[in-house]
Structure formats: C-alpha cells, structure tokens
C-alpha cells in the first residue's frame, strides 16, 4: 500500500503483498514485494535478535551507497536517521518537508533519510543483528508484533501519540500500531479493500455491482462468457472455452492472499483466531462455509478462473477486460484516476457480503517505529510525534490515494476523489490480520489451506483442520517467547 505507496505489476494470479518500485502501468499489488519464503526466512532469522548475528552477514559498513549497500546510521550527537524502502524523497520530498515544518521548532535535530530500495528485509535483518538500526525504520503492519516482542521497537507514550490523536486513527489502522495494548508504531499509509468494476461490460450484460454473495453468483454467471457468447447460466455454456470471467481476487499463495481472503471469513461470522483467548477458529463452521463459497465460485459456478487459466498481456487481466470485477486496495486509485486510467468506464464498490451481514475489508499498510536502543531517543520521539500531526498526514496524503491513518485528514480528499469514500467506509468496518509475533507461521498455514481448497482438490474442511493444527502450534511458540 499517497504516492509513496509503491505499485508493482501483477500478472494473472500473482499476489505479492507489499509495495515496491515506482508506479508502472497495469495491474498492481499491495505492499513491498517480499515472497512468502523470504518473509518466513526473515521472521525466523529475527526470532532471537541477540543470537542472529552469527548467522547473518557482517554488520552494515558506514559509508556505503544508499542505492546499494545501506549506510550505517549516523553517529552525529543529535541526529535522527530514517530508513524505508519507499522513495520518499522523490514522492513527498521528505527532507525538505521536515526542514521546513519540523526543524524550525527543533533546530538542534539533524534529520537524514536513507532509502533501501532493494533487499529490504536482508539489509534490515543484518542491521538489527549488528545493533546498527536507524533511529526510525519502516515496518509492515503485520510485523509490528514480532519486532516489538523482540525488543526492536520503542514504546510510544502519550507524549508521542496523544490519546486524542490515537483516537483519530481508524480503528483498523490503530490496531496495526499496537501490540498487546501498547503503541509501537505510527502509520505511514494504510489500505482498505473494494471491488473495481468494468462498467462497460456490466452495462452490456445488464447487471450492476453485486451486494450479496447470492447476487455475486447471479451477476457473475451473466458476466462470464465463452467463445460462442454463451453466459455461464446458459445450458450451452462451455466452461472449457471461457474468454471472459466475472471476477478475480488475490489467491492463494503470497501475503496478498491472506489479506484478501480472510475478510470472506470475517463477513460470514468466522475468524482465524480469538484475539483475546487465542483460541484457533479457522476450522469452525463459519470459516468453512466462507472458503467453501469461494471454492464453489471456481469449481461449481465457474465465474472465477483457476490459477493459470488466464493468459493476460502486460496490461493485466482487468485492464485487458478478461475479467469484469477485480478485488483491489485504495492504493489503486492513483492508477485509476491519474497514472493509468482504463480505456473504459469504471467504478469501485464494497465487497459483496452474506445476506443480512455487512461488508468487511482487510486493512493493512506500512508504519514507522523507533529503535528501542537508538542513541538519540528524545530527538527521535520528537520527530515521531511530528509524524502524527495533521501537517504530516495532510502532506503525505497528497501524493496518492492510499489512506492516511487519521480519519479527519483522510476525509479531506473526498471532494477531489469521490471514489475514495468506498475505501474510507471500508476502514470503519475493516480489520487487521491476526496480531501475533508468530504471524509468519500463521499466514503460511492459511495460504497453504486456501490454495489447496480453493484452487486445489483438498476438501475445504480438511484443509482448514490442517491449518488449525499449524496455527495452534504457532501460538504455542508465541507463549513460549
């Protein structure tokens, strides 16, 4: 997931979750590109930060190029250095903005920004192992529990994030700032989800955006067409010769899949785990029903293509009009409205929900944390406090359409971009993914279950029972730390 939220091409059925690289044309993803394997290796390697030094490369050497090897944090007496994978100089002019809006009130604090454009997780891990983290570092919201529990993140008290300011953050964004009731991070950007619609195709089929799961099936069958022009609700429909499908969403391997699939479980009254009791709930009936519904969209109703079934050009499946409805995040509005507007009429709509229920979105983004063992914590906390102010949020929100964490500031963009309303509404009912310092193991179990049961041939209940055991084992490790 603001123009400093970085967009990457998404080939058909490729789902990475984090942001990476400048905005291109075509399909996009959510957050910095870190494969599942790298993500899991990273988390495992940081399990015991004091011990990880022996297994990592040597600590980062001072003076290396920001574009390649990362420089060691500045040793200046009152300096504050920030690292992030995002091109914040290019997109928000961060050094100039801080100089003009923060430095006049803090003339003794020297601010430096270093971009780490590639191999972010490896360089961060090496710096952590060598005790050479910067004063402030970017962190994906799903990693805050792991970093905080392992002593990387300083606690942010009310002098840094005042209570009234904390209350202004969307609840779902605020959840990513916290771990076990303590604030450890401030929001850089966050994202909720919606469905992007090809209105030309929908008008041609005589349908509108589905509001319920039942309507999704009905509308989807009218939008799915074979090479002879037969729709999926026709007796003559050939499901082996489909030329256009109704829908696609991110599934099933990759962090983006966890982000996109878990809301279907929440909307059906289910959950991954109980955040209070830590009871695993993924194999309970509401979750099984939700994943079965998704599996049926692929295998029974035929409106969502299996992985690899669609051959798309560089423009991707939705821009190439191979699918009519595509699930996405707020970051997509920058492409839709400015960088790469489609050559057809489009709109966005909330997720379809079960009859009698409500739409629930996944929420996730990038944040900033302060290094607990930083040399200049007092100065660092002054800058962290500045990064919660309206001035900061208003400035960074001007460079794209991912959602700034503070509700009062996010709503200022509505006159300029009315489609943002769908995403802001989704922030109010949206949820963060499970908060656990063992999250990498949890998401791996979920992705394997989703892939095996939605696109594969494993019965849904069996796949989720297997995930239940793996998640329970992960939570046992959580308590052991």
Cβ atoms of residues 207 and 219 within 8 Å: yes
Residue 307's pLDDT is 78
- pLDDT score at 480: 59
Decide: 363 and 172 in contact? Cβ < 8 Å: yes
Residue 271 has pLDDT above 50, yes or no: yes
* Confidence label for 4 from pLDDT (cuts 50, 70 and 90): very low
Class of domain 65-191+365-429: alpha beta
Averaged pLDDT, 170-193: 97
Q: In the predicted model, what is the mean pLDDT of residues 357-380?
A: 96
Torsion angle in degrees (nearest 10) through CA of 176, 179, 185, 190: 0
Determine if the peptide bond prior to 252 is cis (ω within 30°). yes
Tell me which residue has tokens 């967009």.
Answer: 7
Whether the pLDDT of residue 192 is over 90: the answer is yes
140's CB contacts (< 8 A; 6+ apart) are 17, 18, 31, 32, 364, 365, 366, 367
Beta bridge mates, 242: 226
Amino acid 470: pLDDT: 98
Among 30-39, 71-80, 318-327, the minimum mean pLDDT is found in 30-39
**Which DSSP category does 350 fall into?**
P
| Strand blocks (E) in 227-267 | 242-248
Backbone angles phi, psi at 405, to 5 degrees: -65, -30
Which band of pLDDT confidence, cut at 50, 70 and 90, is reported for residue 129?
very high
Radius of gyration of the chain (CA): 22
Burial 1-24 (b: 16+ CB within 10 A, else e): bbbbbbbbebebbbbbbbbbeebe
> Domain ranges in the chain?
65-191+365-429
> Within 10 A of 167 (CB to CB), how many other CB atoms are there?
11
pTM of the model: 0.84
Res. 472 pLDDT band, cuts 50 70 90: very high
């Amino acid at each position: 997931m603001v123009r400093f939220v970085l967009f990457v091409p998404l080939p058909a059925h490729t789902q990475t979750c984090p942001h990476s690289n400048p905005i291109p044309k075509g399909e996009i993803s959510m957050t910095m590109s870190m494969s599942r394997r790298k993500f899991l290796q990273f988390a495992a390697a940081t399990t015991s930060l004091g011990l990880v030094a022996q297994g990592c490369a040597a600590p980062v050497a001072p003076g290396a190029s920001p574009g390649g090897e990362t420089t060691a944090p500045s040793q200046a007496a009152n300096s504050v250095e920030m690292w992030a994978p995002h091109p914040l100089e290019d997109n928000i002019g961060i050094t100039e903005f801080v100089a003009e809006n923060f430095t006049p009130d803090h003339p003794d604090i020297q601010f430096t920004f270093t971009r780490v454009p590639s191999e972010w997780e490896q360089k961060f891990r090496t710096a952590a192992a060598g005790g050479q983290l910067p004063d402030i570092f970017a962190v994906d919201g799903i990693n805050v529990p792991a970093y905080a529990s392992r002593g990387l993140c300083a606690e942010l008290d009310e002098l840094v994030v005042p209570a009234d300011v904390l209350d202004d953050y969307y609840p779902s964004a605020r959840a990513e700032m916290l771990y076990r009731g303590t604030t450890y991070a401030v929001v850089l950007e966050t994202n909720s989800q919606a469905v992007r619609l090809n209105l030309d195709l929908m008008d041609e089929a005589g349908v509108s955006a589905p509001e319920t799961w039942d309507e999704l099936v009905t509308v989807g069958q009218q939008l799915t067409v074979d090479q002879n022009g037969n729709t999926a609700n026709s007796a003559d429909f050939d499901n082996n010769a489909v030329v256009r499908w109704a829908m696609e969403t991110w599934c099933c391997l990759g962090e983006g899949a966890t982000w996109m699939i878990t809301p279907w479980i929440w909307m059906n009254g289910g959950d991954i785990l109980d955040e209070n009791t830590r009871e695993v709930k993924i194999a309970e009936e509401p979750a099984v029903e939700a994943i079965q519904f998704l599996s049926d969209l692929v295998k029974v109703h035929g409106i969502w293509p299996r992985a690899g079934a669609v051959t798309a050009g560089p423009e991707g499946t939705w821009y190439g009009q191979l699918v009519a409805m595509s699930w996405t995040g707020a970051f997509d509005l920058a492409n839709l409205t400015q960088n790469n507007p489609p050559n057809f009429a489009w709109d966005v709509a909330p997720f379809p929900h079960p009859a009698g229920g409500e739409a629930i979105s996944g929420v996730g983004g990038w944040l900033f944390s302060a290094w607990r063992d930083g040399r200049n914590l007092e100065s660092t906390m002054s800058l962290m406090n500045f990064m919660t102010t309206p001035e900061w949020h208003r400035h960074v929100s001007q460079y794209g359409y991912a959602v700034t964490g503070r509700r009062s500031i996010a709503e200022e963009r509505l006159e300029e971009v009315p489609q943002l309303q769908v995403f802001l509404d989704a922030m109010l009912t949206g949820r963060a993914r499970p908060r656990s310092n063992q999250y990498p193991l949890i998401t791996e179990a979920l992705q394997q279950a989703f892939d095996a049961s939605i696109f594969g041939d494993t019965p849904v209940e069996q796949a989720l029972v297997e995930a239940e055991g793996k998640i329970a084992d992960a939570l046992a490790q959580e308590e052991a730390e």
